Chains A and B, each alone.
Chain A
């Protein structure tokens, strides 16, 4: 069997009249000025999606994208150019444009190529071929029929599957020559329920770096449909949420979006190098309660946020960010690692060849604590329990973050009582994390649906956490 590197270099180099020698020549040219670092990134990806609505698969779409990006760095300056074809001419042109950033001066020495030693975190499958077209459509029909069969209040189902197959190759002046093949699939089910003239919606799904057969195994697709219907029905009964500051218990799994917003972005190397983050200069300090140990882990097999190597060829890592409340590390790409005098952590990611890499999260989660989740609920006299969220946002400078509950309940005298409408929760990252007073033993990762946006670039990520309690957080209800 061919290695991923052999496959990718055949598809992205040999087949395009390029070879490692052409990369070397372009690199030499890039290096003919005062340049600290340069890299060439080649990418070819295909993705498809199929959507069912009104009981029929109405639309299918297919997208193909390939190109190359060349980056040259001098100090803190980056020159960048890209082309939407992979050819010797495109490479020459992009390299010439990118090196415009270089000051006049002595040129550096190129290191010999080496492939980083990285453990594969997923198989080099092409999800688009993992089921035939008829089977993809059948799967969506089954999701539709099953969701409708669960409750007669279900009036509409929108089900979709999408898959992508992404080949990347990166060559850098530090000698790194790396390739990766990244599969990714996702299945989503949204239902609309109606009862006594009231309508609500529920949505669930999952995915991973595998083929579509993942959804058939253990009847995962049924779980998503069940979950979507359950959430929609809960929301039919929801009453207005309370407003004000109160104890909040977050469920395990996807509510880990809290960590992504309140902590994760603030610990990305670029913001800290620039002193723009509320966490800047705080290595070694307490920035969360002692119950909190938070990691960014790109090494979990097949996870949506995992990477064999990042987009700079650095193997993904298991990076402890906060250990028992103490800030121990940031997430780094090569540029920021070099400027901060630390090692790259495998967090250099880019949406595509047409964008610059920057420090990004992979799978970010909190390690399990010792409490029984039931005891955590019992400890709250009056507050809310939120097991599902829609998404969030953060201002990394002031530390303010929000995330919006899509399913929540009142806790009254230690018991979960009435469901309440979705509400936005707001807090300040470091302050909120110091409010974490109980952490459950039920660590769970999300189902594989996370998308993170930064500077207009989207990348797939994962989140996770055990059930946890924050003693005080502001809940944006109307009641």
Chain B
């Protein structure tokens, strides 16, 4: 039940032909420029709970998206039906829509010169056994181990395993037509612990393109048990201004807000607190963030972006100074800049560090809050105002004292970024943003 690479390549080749046909039909209908993408994936997703099979899902997803320009007028359509007649209907629909939209001087494909001229093999596809037997075995082993580790784990919200392979093909009327294969495997476990009447839930997961890079079921189980049990007997604490460390697995969200604030769409809409900050100091001078889109086998690697623009290594932040805004071709034209290969988002970000382990950071902080969970959407990228629900641990004398919950932490992202004291070497590799834990000098904690 392991998908065959040769067969996947052949399928992708057929889909490239389907994209080429769609592009040709769009030109025939009078499109002056056109782009089209098809992605497909298939795999399995299983869940187990309390030692029993809960769900076995066979997934197969496909979608086509087409954007057609009539001069400066734009129309888009998409379909999950990939039969030739449905694809032709989608092209016709995009063409119809482009008759009604207004000419936009900034509309169009990314410039031909920006297209990826070579498609490096980034080692993104490693098919693995997609049988229900294997998937269930992984999930059951993980959950069984978790339930055996600590008597305070009284219930399970289940374990899950998934394995998918697929490909993405993109083409446009510059003559660009390319695709790449990709895979993704993951294992997760979510547990419930109880102390008195109070229940706590937490989880752990592992995800990778190559199955051999997943944590073992036992490691996921141990991590989930530790996280869940540690939350028991959480307390609320008093309102105060305190130093805060965001543990690595939540710290990536801080840089996620940086991504939003330097993305072209928010900049040309003047909706970012980092408007007109190119070349300015926005993070401490010891901090560099570099983007590496071609890291072999990485989850966020890709040879080209959603407009066919070549992805390249670049510093986003160098010694604390903002080096690049993230541009699609549209936002680049709006702002008089060049596209940077960021249509569809960022590729792997390597966030620098100046500190050692999380433990050492807690020791250096002395007294403060260690955040391990964030809740809600209280972030305003226009003003940088930040206010989110949080849970974690209270640290005193450099040691974790007790778990805390039902508090909020607030500040302004601009100040928070400028006042990063340290970043640890405990890098979480499961995210596109690879960062260790982040210590921020001071935030307002609201509690009792």
Which A positions have Cβ atoms within 8 angstroms of B? 50, 53-54, 56-67, 75-85, 97-98, 100-101, 133-134, 137, 155-156, 158, 192, 194, 199-201, 241, 243-245, 274-276, 278, 354, 356, 390-393, 395, 397-398, 400-404, 421-428, 474-479
Contact = CB atoms under 8 A, between A and B. Distances in A.
B55 A78 contact: yes
A192 B270 contact: yes
A67 B80 contact: yes
B228 to A, nearest CB: 10
Contacts of B406: 400, 426-428, 474
B56 to A, nearest CB: 5
Given A64-B90, A199-B270, A201-B271, A424 B391 contact: no
Contacts of A79: 55-56
Contacts of A278: 199
A76 B52 contact: yes
Contact of B60 (A84, A194, A393, A397): A84
B76 A61 contact: yes
A15 to B, nearest CB: 13
Contacts of B388: 402, 424, 476
A476 B81 contact: no
A58 B74 contact: yes
A155 B275 CA distance: 16
Contacts of A474: 236, 406-408, 446-448
Contacts of B409: 476
A426 B389 contact: yes
Nearest to A425: B408
A85 B85 CA distance: 12
A58 B75 CA distance: 9
23 contacts: A56-B101, A56-B104, A59-B75, A59-B101, A60-B76, A61-B77, A77-B53, A77-B56, A82-B58, A84-B81, A192-B269, A244-B239, A393-B375, A400-B391, A402-B375, A404-B377, A424-B378, A474-B236, A476-B387, A476-B444, A477-B410, A478-B410, A478-B412
Interface residues of B, number: 75
Interface in B278-319: none
B86 interface: yes
B408 A424 contact: yes
Contacts of B405: 398, 400
Q: Which 5 A-B pairs have the closest CB atoms?
A: A476-B408, A402-B389, A397-B201, A402-B376, A424-B378
A397 B192 contact: yes
Centre residue among B388, B405, B410 by max chain A CB count within 10 A = B410
A21 B136 CA distance: 34
Contacts of A78: 54-56
Given A64-B93, A476-B388, 9 more contacts: A57-B100, A60-B101, A63-B79, A64-B89, A66-B80, A101-B53, A243-B408, A390-B378, A398-B198
Contacts of A77: 52-56
Contact of A475 (B76, B377, B391, B446): B446
B contact patch SS: strand
Given A243-B446, A276-B155, A476 B192 contact: no
Given A354-B61, A390-B377, A477 B97 contact: no
Contact of B97 (A61, A398, A423): A61
A133 B98 CA distance: 11
Centre residue among A61, A391, A425, A474 by max chain B CB count within 10 A = A61
A426 B407 contact: yes
Nearest to A476: B408
A194 B389 CA distance: 29
Nearest to A280: B199
A23 B262 CA distance: 52
Contacts of A100: 56, 132
A478 B444 contact: yes
Contact of A398 (B79, B200, B408): B200
A189 to B, nearest CB: 15
B82 interface: yes
A422 B76 contact: no
A395 B447 contact: no
B229 to A, nearest CB: 14
B198 A101 contact: no
A395 B375 contact: yes
A392 B377 CA distance: 7
B383 interface: yes
Nearest to A53: B269
A142 to B, nearest CB: 14
Contacts of A401: 375
Centre residue among B98, B107, B239, B375 by max chain A CB count within 10 A = B375
Contacts of A426: 375-376, 389, 406-408, 446
B83 interface: yes
B387 A356 contact: no
B205 to A, nearest CB: 14
B398 interface: no
Nearest to B90: A64
Contacts of B201: 276, 395, 397-398
A476 B77 contact: no
B78 interface: yes
A83 B377 CA distance: 34
A59 B93 CA distance: 13
B389 A476 contact: yes
A126 to B, nearest CB: 15
Contact of B155 (A50, A194, A275, A390): A275
Contacts of B400: none
Interface in B401-448: 405-412, 444-448
Contacts of B376: 391-393, 402-404, 424, 426
A105 to B, nearest CB: 15
A76 B54 contact: yes
A397 B58 CA distance: 29
Contacts of A392: 376
Centre residue among B98, B231, B270 by max chain A CB count within 10 A = B270
Given A274-B157, A476-B387, A422 B410 contact: no
Contacts of B271: 192, 199, 201
